[in-house]
Structure 1
Amino acid sequence: MLNQIVKAVPNLFTIGNLLCGVLSITYMMSGFLQVAAVFIFFSAFLDLLDGRIARKLKVNSEFGVELDSLADIISFGVAPAILFHSIAAPSILTSLAFILFPTMGALRLAKFSVNPTIGYFKGLPIPAAGLPLAGMGFFLYSNAWITLILAFLMVSPIRIKKL
């Protein structure tokens, strides 16, 4: 029984990450954009903890890895893209950035799931791309070019050392 509870602990943090992403979207829909941005930052904190806790407790699992990817696409792909779109002036460039950001994030997560790397990330991790958008959103600033650059960095071949 205790073993099952210990195995569930990291997944509870991952679900917290997901819930913060969903709450972020909910607050955006109600017009509370800065609160929505803060929830994206809460997601990042929980995302940081879930993997560390899983490794510390030695309860890594495929289920946890997949759940983490699903939570990340919501919290760091969809939520920041909607925040960006809520602030940005309407244009074709804005629409393109809005579509490409979560799409490239999903592609990056799928690539990592199929071919994980050790010691480095190939392409910008989705939290590292979503957090600048959340930061800009907190200050009610948007920039389609920055959003597009972050989107393409996620699927780029650059190597980034893991923290």
Structure 2
Amino acid sequence: MLNHVVKAIPNLFTIGNLICGVLSITLNMSGYLEVACLFIFLSALFDLLDGRIARKLKVNSEFGVELDSLADIVSFGVAPALLFHSIAAPSILTSLAFILFPTMGALRLARFSVKPTIGYFKGLPIPAAGLPLAGMGFFLYSNAWITLILALLMVSPIRVKKL
């Protein structure tokens, strides 16, 4: 019984990440843009802790890895893209950035899921792409070019050292 509880602890942090992402989307839709940004940052805290706790407790699982990817696409792909879209002036470039950002994030997560790397990430991790958008959003600033560059960096061949 205690073993099942211990195994669930990291997944609870992952669910916290997901809930914060969903709350960010909800707050954004209600016009509370700065608070929506803060929930993306809170998602990052949960995301940072879930993996560390799983390794510390030695309860890593495939389920946890997949759940983490699903939470990340919401919290660091969809939520920041919607935030960007809410602030940006309408244009074809804005629409392209809005579509490509979560799409490239999903592709990056799928690539990592199929072929994990040790010691480094191939492409910019989705939290590292989503957090700058949340930071810009907090100051009600948007830039389609920055959003597009971050999207492309997620699927680029660059290596980023794991924290």
Normalising TM by the smaller chain, what interval?
over 0.9
Identify unmatched segments of 5+ residues in structure 1: none
Give the AA of the match of 2:76. F
2:55 is aligned to 55
C-alpha displacement of 1:88: 0.1
Post-superposition CA distance 1:71-111 (Å, at most 9, x none): 00000000000000000000000000000000000000000
2:18 is aligned to 18
Give the AA of the match of 1:71. A
Post-superposition CA distance 1:41-68 (Å, at most 9, x none): 0000000000000000000000000000
Within 5 Å, give how 1:109-148 maps onto structure 2: 109-148=109-148
2:85 is aligned to 85
2:3 is aligned to 3
Local SS of the residue matching 1:90:
coil
Aligned length: 163
C-alpha displacement of 1:114: 0.2
Local SS of the residue matching 1:157:
coil
> What TM-score, normalized to structure 2?
1.00
C-alpha displacement of 1:115: 0.3
C-alpha displacement of 1:158: 0.2
Identify unmatched segments of 5+ residues in structure 2: none
C-alpha displacement of 1:124: 0.0
* Whole-angstrom distance in 1 between the partners of 2:140 and 2:129: 17
2:36 is aligned to 36
Q: Which runs of 4+ in 1 moved over 4 A?
A: none
* Whole-angstrom distance in 2 between the partners of 1:17 and 1:119: 23
Local SS of the residue matching 2:31:
coil
* Whole-angstrom distance in 2 between the partners of 1:106 and 1:162: 19
Give the AA of the match of 1:92. I
* Whole-angstrom distance in 1 between the partners of 2:56 and 2:102: 30
> What TM-score, normalized to structure 1?
1.00
2:45 is aligned to 45
Local SS of the residue matching 1:26:
helix
The alignment yields a C-alpha RMSD, in angstroms, of 0.2
Local SS of the residue matching 2:12:
helix
